[in-house]
Each structure stands twice: as structure tokens, then as C-alpha cells.
Structure 1
Amino acid sequence: MKDHTISKETLDFLKTLEKNNNRDWFEANKPEFKSHESYVKQFYSSIRENLESHDEIEKMKMFRIYRDVRFSKDKTPYKTHFAGSFSRLGAHLRGGYYLRIKPGESFAAVGFWEPNKEDLFRIRKEFEMDASDFRKTIGQDSLKSIWGEIQGDGVKTAPKGFDKEHPDIDLIKRKQFIFVRNFSDKEVLSTSFMKEVNQSFKAIRPFFDIMSDILTTNLNGESLLD
């Protein structure tokens, strides 16, 4: 397994960027940024290689440092973190992984951030019919000990066409299905950080498996991929 580390110098650079979030400072320090960015990209590429030992990854995306400030009240031009995402294999394996490196605010996240309306309706219909397998899956100690409880936004009342008194309405109301694990700076700088991230991603697999099964079948359990 690939096992690189994040350097203290990288976190220190991000801290300094946060204090000097302007174009003049950034341009003057761009060579140093490029050096950190190059190494962090290698770090994320190694995470992908580790992921591919137990999952199938279709795409890795590293997010740019430049902020889109057109519709934001915050006009600072640069992000003060590094981040990347890893998408699973297309229509067959659903869900994705995400990792952000930011001093004091690093975290890994997994799941479904913005399911399209067809997928969201299919998930809700599954929970309406029977959510017991899903609850059993996300309640496993091996998953909860690392990821805790499921998170994400939801609607305030029952979605149209669903009974607000349904016993699983808490799941039916969800619009997102994500898990988040926070990391301290000490953990991020540890030589075991990459291994810890990989083990965390591996531990979420039962959740991805049941969600992929839901999204690739109809309510009769028949495959939609044939």
C-alpha cells in the first residue's frame, strides 16, 4: 500500500495563505504553492491507488485553489485548503469519496452529496417499502465506530407523495446521504494518516454496496443494468 505523508510545511503554508489571502502575496509565493500542490497531488494519487486495491474508481478530481467569488459575499480569491474527490465506477458502483486538508479543519467525507431526482425518488421508495436492511447496514459497529451517524440535508416535511407518519420518514426526508470523519492536524501529519484514510474508506463499503444495489435495481429487485 502506498503510504506518503502530509508535511507540516504544507499546513504552515495554508495557514499563511489564510492570513494573506490576496493576489499580490499569492503571486509572490506562487513557486512555493506549486511545490506544495505538486506533492499533495501525488498524495491524492496514492490514495486513489490504495482505493483501487478494494474498490473501482472511475475518476479522481483535484479541486483548484482559486475561488469562484462571483456569487459569494466572501471575496477572498483563494481557498485555504487542498481537496480532492474520487468517483466510483459509473452506473454500476455509486457514491464517492472526498478528502479535504485544511489546518484545524481536515475531514474525509463519503456518500451521496447531490443525488439526481430520479435516484433520490428511487432511494425514498426503497425506504418507504422497507428500510430495515439499510438501518442494519449503517448501524454496524465497524462502520459507526469510524464514521458515526449518517448526515446530510433533508426536507422539513414529508416529500410529495409520501406519508409524514411513515415510521422511516426520517430517512425518506433526506436529500443527502453522507458520512463525515474529522481529522486533527496531529492525525494529518502522522505517518499513518494515509493508511487511516484508506481504512476509513474501506469501512464504508457496506453502505456503498447497499446504496448501489438500490440504485441499480427496481423495487422488484430486478437489475436496471441489463
Structure 2
Amino acid sequence: MAFRGWPQEAFEFYEELETNNSRDWWLAHKATYDSAVKAPMEELMAAVADEFGPMRLFRPNRDVRFSKDKSPYKTAAAAMTATDGAACYVQLSSEGLMVGGGQYHLASDQLTRFRDAIADDDTGTALAQICDDLRSDGYEVAAAETLKTAPRGWDKDHPRIDLARMKGAVVLTHLPRAKWMSTAKALGRITDVWR
């Protein structure tokens, strides 16, 4: 079946889950999750697989073993491409969509190459300009972890120290809940961000 966006029930499901995050509520509303959230997400995953690669849907359950917050369910549904390189990501919540891509956390050898590119005047200046342009266009440039101080061997006053402190690089945009998210236009809006 072709992806036609998420019905309004998907957003309403997460609004209600935010205030009723319990196993009893989840079980009573699981059919809504399956039809309004999971099924459209799987349709999206199938629609983008040829161009962006296979995606995986994250489990709705939270790992609460070491958390003070014992809410059993995530208040958003998310899917990500399952590649070794940069990934594409989409998340649905009561507020709308978060769409982005990149490498959330770089391996040690990747981080070394990333910082070498930042240190180089040509590639580093170009990368900083790309990040500035993305931020000007309303995108967020982030990482899973950002150092509080300069990395070892870096001058704390380096002109691109903000990039060097990042241990990954992702570009995200937050799209507030809108009617187009419940239409086939959602596919184009999501893939435009990924491209």
C-alpha cells in the first residue's frame, strides 16, 4: 500500500499517551497504534527503501532499567535507515515530525578524520559555511555528544572549535503538526529534507 501520511489519530494517540503512559492504557489503545502509527510508518519505510535503503522501526517500549522515569512507552515513533554510513531519520510525535540525517556518533577513526577535515582550512571553512547555511535555513546541527572543552590538541580559540567539539554530525528539522502530514505530500517533504 502507498504511503499517504499519518492520520490525525496518530498525533492524538501520542497526545493521550503523554498523559496516560501506562501498560493498561497502551493495551487498550494498541489497535490505534498499529493502524494509525505503525502501519503508515511501515508504508513510508517501503516507499523510501529503493532510494535511501532499508529502514528499521524503533520499538515503542522504553528501557527503564536504569531510568528514574519509569514510563513504559516512548512518546514518539521513529524509524532510521539501517546503513553503516550516514543515516536518515524520521520521528512522529504529538507535536509533528522531526526529520534529519547524519552520523549521530562517530567511531574513533571516523572522529579523527572528521576533526582533520575541520582543522584543514579549505575543508573546515567549507564545512563551517555549510553548517551556518543550514542553521540559517532553520535546521539544527547537532551530535549525540559534544565536548564541554576543546578536544586534546586543539586550541580553545580555534575558529571552528564548536564543530571540533562535536563527536558526530546530524542535521535535523522540526516540522510542527500540519495537515500535509496526513496526505501523500508527507513523503516528498520528508525525502526533500533527506536529500
TM-score range, shorter chain: 0.7 to 0.9
CA gap 1:146/1:106 in 2 versus in 1, 3 angstroms: same
Q: Would the alpha carbon gap of residues 129 and 145 (structure 1) be closer, same or farther in structure 2, given more than 3 Å must change?
A: closer
Aligned partner (choices 167, 178, 193) of residue 175 of structure 1: 167
- Aligned partner of 1:156 in structure 2 is 148
In the TM superposition, residue 149 of structure 1 has moved relative to its aligned partner by: 5.0
- Does the Cα contact within 8 Å between 1:69 and 1:77 map onto a contact in 2? yes
Residues 141-198 of structure 1 deviation map (CA, whole Å, 9 limit, x = unaligned): xx55655352334212221122323332222122231211111111533542221111
How large is the Cα RMSD of the aligned pairs? 2.3
Identical positions, percent: 28
Quick check: 1:146–1:181 contact (8 Å CA) kept in 2? no
Match of 1:219 in 2: none
Moved over 4 A (4+): 143-147
Asked whether 1:201 is paired with 2:194, we answer yes
> What TM-score do you get using the length of structure 1 for normalisation?
0.73
Query: CA 1:168–1:12 in 2, change beyond 3 Å: closer, same or farther?
Result: closer
Q: How many residue pairs align between the two structures?
A: 189
- Secondary structure of 2:41's match? helix
> Given residue 55 of structure 2, which amino acid in structure 1 is its aligned partner?
M
Distance change >3 Å, CA 162–CA 144, structure 1 → 2: closer
1:124 CA drift (Å):
0.8
Separation in 2, partners of 1:33, 1:149: 29
Structure 1: runs of 5 or more not aligned: 203-226
1:38 matches 2:39: yes
1:68 equivalent in alignment to 2:63: yes
- C-alpha distance in structure 1 between counterparts of 2:33 and 2:141, whole Å: 35
